[in-house]
Amino acid sequence: MLSIESLNSGYGDFKVIQNVSLRMERGQAAGILGPNGHGKSTFLKTVCGLLRPDSGKVEFKGEDVTGLGAAAMASRGLVYVAEDRRLFNDMTVHENLMLGAYLPRAQKVRSRNLEFVHALFPRLAERRSQRAGSLSGGEAQMLAMARGLMSAPDCIALDEPSLGLSPKLTATLMDAVVEINRTGITVLLVEQSLDLIRPHLSKVWRIEEGALKRENPAAILQDMEV
């Protein structure tokens, strides 16, 4: 599904991601772990087309997509859900969801996907006419994830979905990640805590100071316990 080779990226002269390579299989649920400020989000944004890499190669479903923008990546089935959610606060929950289905690939399955996200997050169905800006933090995160799913992704990239949420809401979102993956959607999840993501994912990488350090959940856990 996704192959990254020797990726380098950053912001102007400030280099963040250093020679990162990894591979994800179709239908896999995998995570990227690491402390704040060490490059997790920069890596995800580069892969999803929000940042242009300085060098390296990104392949998605066997196609070289290096340097393509976020819209082009979304049209190919790789959808990014930002950690700050980026909702349209003055629009309703339903209107935000419909905006997620703007791509031709998504319009064909809009009704089916709307039914799926309402089943996944019943609160969104209850609040369909409510302004997005009036939602709680947990509800807003549900809406951000659901809007991404409305784009009919083959792979969804979630940037710290648990940020600022209670443990109970975080558990609800992690259960949703499992359900999303069960439908066949590949999931790439960025988080800070291994405890949050380890039970739900088949592969975990650890990034420190912009470089890939580990690619095995057991080894990462051992590092953290030392």
Query: How much is the pLDDT for 215?
Result: 63
Lowest mean pLDDT across 10-14, 94-98, 132-136: 10-14
**pLDDT by residue (tens digit) across 163-173?**
878 888 888 88
User: Which pLDDT band holds residue 226 (cuts at 50, 70, 90)?
Assistant: very low
CATH number at residue 108: 3.40.50.300
Q: Is 4 exposed, middle or buried (0-12, 13-18, 19+ CB in 10 A)?
A: buried
User: Which pLDDT band holds residue 98 (cuts at 50, 70, 90)?
Assistant: very high
**Does pLDDT of 198 surpass 70?**
no
**Interior angle at CA 170, CA 122 and CA 181, nearest 5:** 70
Query: How much is the pLDDT for 221?
Result: 47
**Interior angle at CA 99, CA 96 and CA 100, nearest 5:** 95
Provide the whole-model pTM: 0.88
C-alpha distance across the termini of the chain, in Å: 34
User: Which pLDDT band holds residue 192 (cuts at 50, 70, 90)?
Assistant: confident
- Domain range for 154: 2-225
Residues 6+ apart with CB under 8 A from 94: 128, 129
Q: Tell me which residue has tokens 């599904």.
A: 1
Which tokens belong to 49? 């087309």
CA pair distance 12, 90, nearest whole angstrom: 34
**Does pLDDT of 223 surpass 60?**
no
Which tokens belong to 221? 């856990």
Hey, which residues does 3 pair with through a beta bridge?
Answer: 23, 59
**Does pLDDT of 96 surpass 90?**
yes
User: Which pLDDT band holds residue 225 (cuts at 50, 70, 90)?
Assistant: very low
Which tokens belong to 161? 């979905």
Domain count, the chain: 1
Overall average pLDDT of the 43-67 stretch: 95
**Does pLDDT of 119 surpass 80?**
yes
Sheet holding 155-159: strands in order across? 78-81, 155-159, 186-191, 29-33, 203-208, 211-214
Closest by CA to 140, choosing from 152, 130, 150, is 130
